[in-house]
Amino acid sequence: MLHNKSGSVIFPIVMAVLLILGALGFSLYRSMTEKANFVNAHANAALLDFAAMEMEAVIFDELGKQLKKSDSSIFKDLLKTATDATELDVSGYNGLWDKKFSFLGKKEFARLSWSSTVKFVNFSGLAGTGKWNDPFEKLCRINVDLDLSIGHIASKKLRKLYQFSRPCKLQRLGLPVVSKFSLFVKNPEKTNGNTEGYNCFENMHDGNPTQANYSGTQKSMPLILFNSTKVGLTDITDAGYVFLGGQEDIELHTTAGNHPDYGESFLFCSMSKPLSSVIVFDMNVLPSTAAFAPAGIQLATSPSTLQGVLGIRSVVFGFYSVNNLGESMNYLDTLSRWFDPSNMVTMNSSFLHIYGSMSNPTPTMVLGRVKRTYARYAKLVARLAGRQDVQGVCWLKNPAPMNNTAGQSLDSWSQVPFPGSLDDKKTGISYSVATAALSMISLFGSPSAPATAWSSYLDYASGLCNEEYNRVYEYVFRKDDDKDFPPSKKTFEAKFGTYQQTGETFALTRKNTGNTLFQSDLNKISTLDLLKDRISIQVRDQAEFDQLFKNDDGSYDLRGQVIKIQGGAFEFPAGAKIHTSGIIAVAGKISLKGGVTCDSKVLLSLVSIGDNITLEGSNEEVQANLVALDGTVVSASKSSIKIKGGVAVNKLSPKDWKYGGQVTYDERFDPIQSSREDTYVVAIADYHDRWKVDQVTK
C-alpha cells in the first residue's frame, strides 16, 4: 500500500518539475529573441544614420562643386530661377552623387534601399538697400530629403526619413552700383573759379609736365582714367562711368598739347581723324553789322585802296603754364579778364584725365555737375579782294575791367582799340587802316549803344569756355559733315539724355533684359548699402583670415566668399597672388605693399569700412576694385600707380597722388552687361540650421 501510494506522489512531482523547466526554457528563448531583435534594430538604425550622414555630405559636396562652375547645368538653372519661384528640383541630377557613396558594396548595407530628393526652396531677393535689384541675385535654402530602409523581410524592414537644410546665396562678385564706375567720388574737391582743386597739373603748352615730379609742391601728375580695355570703343554704355558728386560745379581745365600720355587736344577732334594740337575754325555766325557784310568793306586808302571781307577766326587750346618761349597762356594779354592778378584763375590743367590719353582715348559717361574749361583765342581777320588767303587784323582781347576814380570796375573801349595799320604778309605792304570808317565799337554794335556793343564784343572775344563734360562726346564722335564748332549735332542727348546728369536720379539698366538694377541718388550710396546681405563669412582679424584663405606659398584662395574682417588693419604683401575670386571688407585700414595680381577670370574687390586704402610699391599694378566710401584711396608710391578695376571713394585729393596713376576699368565688373555669368558665385553654408529624422511605423 505504501508502495502504491509513494508512486502516485512522485509522478505529479516529476511532471510539475518538467512543466516548470519548460516554462523557464520558453521564457529564456523569448527573452533571447527579443534581445536579438532589439540589438538588430539598433544596428540597422545606426546603419541608416551612418548612410544618411554620408549621403548628405556627398550630395552637398557635389552640389558645391557644381555650383562653383558657371557653365554647369545646376548653376545655370539656379541663376535663371526667379526670386519668386516656389522651388527648383535638381533631384534629376542624382547621377552626380548616387555612385559616390562609400557604403556601396559593403555587405552590412546589402539590404539598404533609398531615394533622395534635392531641392532649392524659399527663394527671395537680396535685401540690400532696397534700391539694387539684380534679378539673378537671391537667397534660398537647399533641402536634401532622404528616404532610407533596411531589412530582408518587408514586414521587418526599418524605414527612416531624413531632412537636411542649409542656407544658400547667389550673388555677383561685383559690388552694387560702384562696380559700373572707373572712378566714383562722392565728395570731390571744390574746383571752380579761382579755387584750384583738381586743376593742379602744371604743364607746358605741349602737355609735358613742367618738372619731373611734384613731390615737394602742391602740384600733382595726372590720374588718367582708361574706361575700357577695348581700343576704339564707340558704345560708351560698355565703358566704366565717372561720377563726381556734390552740389557744386566741377570745372576741369583741359590739358594743352599732343603729349601721348598727358595732352588732351584730342578732346576737340574726331577719333577717326588725325589729331592736331592747334584747333582752328572760323566763326560761322558773325555780328549783324555793316562791317561784317558778305560784300565786304573798304579797309584802307593808303598807299592804295584795299577792299576785304571781315571775319573772326578762333584757335582752341587747353591750359598750360608756359610755352617753349617762356610765355604763359595769357598770350598778348588776350585773357586778362581771368588771369589778371585780381582774379587769378590758375593756368594749371586738371589732374583728372577722364577720357584717357591721346594714345588711347576711352570715351565715357560723366555724371555729376562736371564741366570742362578751355581757352578760345579769337582774332579779327580779313580776306582781301581777289584773294583766297586770310590776313590777321588783330586779336580780340578780353581785358580785365578797369577801375575809375571812384574805385568802380568798368569796361572801356579804349582797352581794345582798332589797329591803325594792316600788314599784308603776302606782299609785305603795310596799309593805313581807314579808322574814320572803322572802329571796334562799330564792328560789334552802334556807337549810340556802347553797352550793347560791348556785350556783343565779349561774345566774340577771346575767353575761357565752359561746357558740360559730356559734350566732349560730340567732338570725338562727330561726323565729317558736322563742320561747326562746337559741334551742332546733339548725338549724346539723343542716345543718353541731357549732357549734365547730376546722379540724383540715376538709373542702371541691364542691356539684354531691360531690368532696372538701380534707380536712386548716387550721392547717398554708403558702404552699408554695398555690403548688406552680402557677407558670407566673418573672421576676427587678419591672423584668422590668413589661416583660412592663405596658402603655404603665400598666395590666396578666397573661394568666392564675401569676407568681413571685423577688427584691425589688413595688409596684402607685395606681389600678392589671388587664385579665386572674392570680396574682402575690412573694418579698418587696408594697405597694399605692392602689386596684387589675379589669375585669369578672377575678380577681387577690397572694401575699407570707415578708413582708407593705401597703395605702396613701385611701377606695379593692383588688379582690384578699390572701395573706400568712408575715406579715400592714397598712393604712397614714389612712382605712378596702375589699377585695373576701379576706384570708389568719399573724397579724392590730388596731394594723395603726387606721382599720378592710371585706372583701367575691368569690364568684368560691369553689372549691366548681358554675358557675365562667370561673375556670379554661390555660397552654401557649412552647417545645417534645420534638420530632422522620423522613423516610419506601419
Per-residue pLDDT reduced to its tens digit, 635-681: 999 899 999 999 999 999 999 999 999 999 999 999 998 767 888 99
pLDDT tens digits for range 542-574: 999 999 999 999 999 999 999 999 988 999 999
Q: Are strands 402-403 and 409-410 parallel, antiparallel or unpaired?
A: antiparallel
Per mean pLDDT, which range of 114-128, 173-187, 262-276, 416-430 is the poorest?
262-276
- DSSP of 617-680, one letter per residue? SSS-EEEEEEEETTS-EEE--SS-EEEEEEEEES---GGGGTT-EEEEE-GGG-TT-S--GGGE
pTM: 0.87
Q: What is the mean pLDDT of residues 288-307?
A: 88
Q: What share of the chain is helix, strand, coil (3-state, %, to 5)?
A: 25, 30, 45
pLDDT tens digit string along 453-470? 999 999 999 999 999 999
Collapse the DSSP code of 120 into the 3-class scheme (helix H, G, I; strand E, B; otherwise coil) and give the result: strand
Q: Is 43 helix (H, G, I), strand (E, B) or coil?
A: helix
Helix, strand or coil, per DSSP, at residue 239:
coil
Taking all residues of the chain, what is their mean pLDDT, rounded to a whole number?
88
Does the pLDDT value for residue 2 go beyond 50?
Answer: no
**For 32-41, 84-93, 435-444, 559-568, which range has the lowest pLDDT when averaged over its residues?**
32-41
Q: When comparing pLDDT for 190 and 407, which is higher?
A: 190
Strand extents, DSSP E, 227-331:
241-244, 250-253, 279-282, 297-302, 306-317
What average pLDDT does range 252-263 have in this prediction? Answer: 95
Nearest alpha carbon to residue 670 among 498, 502, 509: 509
pLDDT for 488: 81
Q: Please give the Cα distance from 237 to 245 (Å, whole number).
A: 20
> 370: which residues sit within 8 A by CB, 6+ positions away?
242, 244, 249, 250, 252, 354, 468, 469, 500
Choose the most confident range, by mean pLDDT, from 17-21, 41-45, 383-387, 561-565. 561-565
Rounded to 5°, angle at Cα 573 from 571 and 579 = 100
- In this structure, of 34-43, 110-119, 299-308, the range with the lowest mean pLDDT score is 34-43
Q: Among candidates 220, 191, 511, 227, which has minimal Cα distance to 366?
A: 227
Given this model, what pLDDT does residue 3 score? 45
Q: Provide the pLDDT for residue 176.
A: 94
Please, are residues 305 and 386 in contact by the beta-carbon 8 Å criterion?
Answer: no
Average pLDDT over residues 422-443: 84
Per-residue model confidence as pLDDT tens digits over 348-393: 999 999 999 999 999 999 999 999 999 999 999 999 888 888 899 9
User: Does the structure show a pLDDT above 90 at 698?
Assistant: no
Mean pLDDT of 404-414: 65
- Which range (112-116, 160-164, 345-349, 660-664) has the least confidence? 112-116
Nearest in space to 313 (alpha carbons), one of 277, 269, 282: 282
Q: When comparing pLDDT for 434 and 377, which is higher? A: 377
* Contact between residue 40 and residue 156 where contact means Cβ atoms under 8 Å apart: no
pLDDT in tens, 267-287: 998 887 655 557 888 888 899
**What is the pLDDT confidence band of residue 31, given thresholds at 50, 70 and 90?**
low
Q: Say what the pLDDT of residue 375 is.
A: 96
Listed in sequence order, the residues at least 6 apart from 74 whose beta carbon sits closer than 8 Å to its beta carbon are: 63, 66, 67, 90, 93
The answer to which of 345-359, 388-402, 602-616, 624-638 has the lowest mean pLDDT is: 388-402
Q: What is the pLDDT of residue 41?
A: 66
Checking DSSP bridges between strand 537-539 and strand 562-565, what pairing results, if any? parallel
**Chain segment 509-545, per-residue pLDDT in tens:** 998 888 899 999 999 999 999 998 899 999 999 999 9
Spell out a b/e string for 631-645, using b for 16 or more CB atoms within 10 Å of the CB, else e: bbbbbebeebbbbbb
pLDDT score, position 12:
65
Return the SS3 of 424: coil
Q: What is the DSSP letter of 38?
A: H
Cis, bond preceding 209 (omega within 30 deg of 0) = no
Q: Is the pLDDT of residue 28 over 90?
A: no
Over 60: is that where the pLDDT of 404 sits? Answer: no
Give the pLDDT mean for 247-272.
93
**Host H or E run for residue 139:** strand 138-150
Owner of C-alpha cell 579797309: 299
Q: Report how far residue 259's alpha carbon sits from residue 54's, in angstroms, rounded to the nearest whole number.
A: 67
Burial letters for 555-576: b for 16+ Cβ neighbours within 10 Å, e otherwise?
bbbbbbbbbbbeeebbebeeeb
Question: Which pLDDT belongs to residue 157?
Answer: 82
Residue 104's pLDDT is what? 83
Which pLDDT does position 534 carry in this prediction?
92
Check whether 148 has a pLDDT greater than 50: yes
When comparing pLDDT for 151 and 298, which is higher? 298
Could you give the percent of the chain with pLDDT greater than 70?
Answer: 89
CA-wise closest residue to 608 among 643, 635, 640, 647: 647
